[in-house]
Amino acid sequence: MLFNSIDFAIFLPLVFILYWSINKYNLKFQNALLVLASYVFYGWWDWRFLTLIIFSSLIDYIIGVKLGEIKNKSKRKALLWISILINLGILTTFKYYNFFVDNFVSAFSWFGKDIKPNTLDVILPVGISFYTFQTLSYTIDVYRKKLKPTKHIISFLAFVSFFPQLVAGPIERATHLLPQFYKKRQFHYSKAINGCKQMLWGFFKKIVIADTCAQYVNIIFENYQDYSGSTLFVGALFFTFQIYGDFSGYSDIAIGTSRLFGFDLQQNFAFPYFSRDIAEFWRRWHISLSTWFRDYLYIPLGGSKGGNWTKIRNTFLIFLVSGFWHGANWTFIVWGGLNAIYFLPLQLTKRNRNNLKIVAYNRMFPSAKDIVRIFITFSLTVVAWIFFRAKTVAIAVDYIEKLVSKSLFSIPEIRPTNVLAFIVFFMGVEWVGRRQKYALETILINQTKALRWGFYFFLLAVILMYSNTAQQEFIYFQF
């Protein structure tokens, strides 16, 4: 079920009313309702894949219980590996099997061998990468004894399938989200209003920014050979804002929706396009995934300890795996490798933690030095996103070559001034609200109620106006 659909507009109020209506009864009823609602939400897309998420949930629930009972170190490690192999096995089968087969065939074709393998004709289950990592974090943390295993199966099923963040994150840790299912929730009007504001901003990002940009991005990237370098620049720029508006918009809607039900999810984006270097960008972009790889892969491999070779190896590994997580295509791997190349000079010179606070934290405007740094970081990010969006690496390289040609300085064939105006407005609001967890959290808080609500209704009117365009799925549904 899409957030930006009539189905969800009906689904959410119904679940909200039922959820708080049974609040006076046993907490298990509320959690059971969330499980049922989450399965309806997920099964609305394709009910057959419910078996996967239920199977994965039960496996990790049982292994968690066993890890709590068994003291023998080797047996506990064996249980952990069973969880890892089953979860990653399912993910690999659906997401990567055909990629490996196709590349195996291509490799042998160089030697004149004609192999006709069997590939899988299956649909990638929505959100499989997200809930797989969520259940894995639970098993790993129980194994490390950072978390006590739960024996409340309904709470665990609700944790894994919690519908607001089920299909595109944030990827929640069991240490943070699971205990929230043990406690009785109370409805708080202020939290609900706060959640609605974050949802409003998320819908603006998705419908007005991302979906509008997508219309031009699709045309330009699909027909890039027919356009000038300036138009290709427009396409790359618009995709940069499309993917940010799309993914961070989903996170805002998910976090806001969760708040309506009394839950707190972690921040997933922290205004990444105001970053002054790539290291800061990756601390602010898709935070739940970046920190997952840091805690469960990078640090166990030694992190930044040791010599330069260890740092280079671990950095490339983490970025390449992150790229591969996004999709079974060499474009994502190159995208990850390119970000590793961006990141390494900062790490090797120990400048990767220079910018921990948001830019111009105590000022309204950034310094000239900060503006230059933001521009350079943003430009590097735009180039990397071209590989992310292109269908093949060859197309991405060709796209960049045509972009930097003499025609870069010509007038673009496509000039959507209305979209540019909304992007400027969007980034202006983000700038004003950059010190908060989301842009609208405290914006206009000191102004009159009429002005504040007038601004909210303006956003709502624009969202409704642009929602008449073709409904777009969220980009990260394919990951």
- Catalytically annotated residues: 326
Cβ contact 342:242 at 8 Å: no
Which contacts qualify for 151-156: CB closer than 8 Å, 24 or more apart?
151/65, 152/181, 152/182, 153/61, 154/28, 154/31, 154/32, 154/35, 155/31, 155/181, 155/182, 156/57, 156/60, 156/61, 156/64
Virtual torsion, Cα 291, 292, 295, 297, nearest 10 deg:
-120
**Within a 10 A sphere around the Cβ of 120, how many other Cβ atoms?**
9
DSSP state of 178: G
DSSP letter for 48, please.
Answer: G
Using DSSP's 3-state secondary structure scheme, residue 377 falls into: helix
CA nearest 475: which of 332, 343, 270, 264? 332
> Closest Cα partner for 388 from 433, 424, 334?
334
Q: Amino acid letter at 456?
A: Y
Tell me how many degrees the CA angle 264-267-268 measures, rounded to the nearest 5: 130
Instruction: Give the Cα separation of 457 and 463 in Å (integer).
Output: 10
Half-sphere exposure of 135 (CA within 13 A, CB side): 35
**CA 188, CA 194: separation in Å to the nearest integer?**
10
Close Cβ partners of 376 (under 8 Å, ≥ 6 residues apart): none
CB 178 within 8 A of CB 155: yes
Residue written as token pair 């950072």? 146
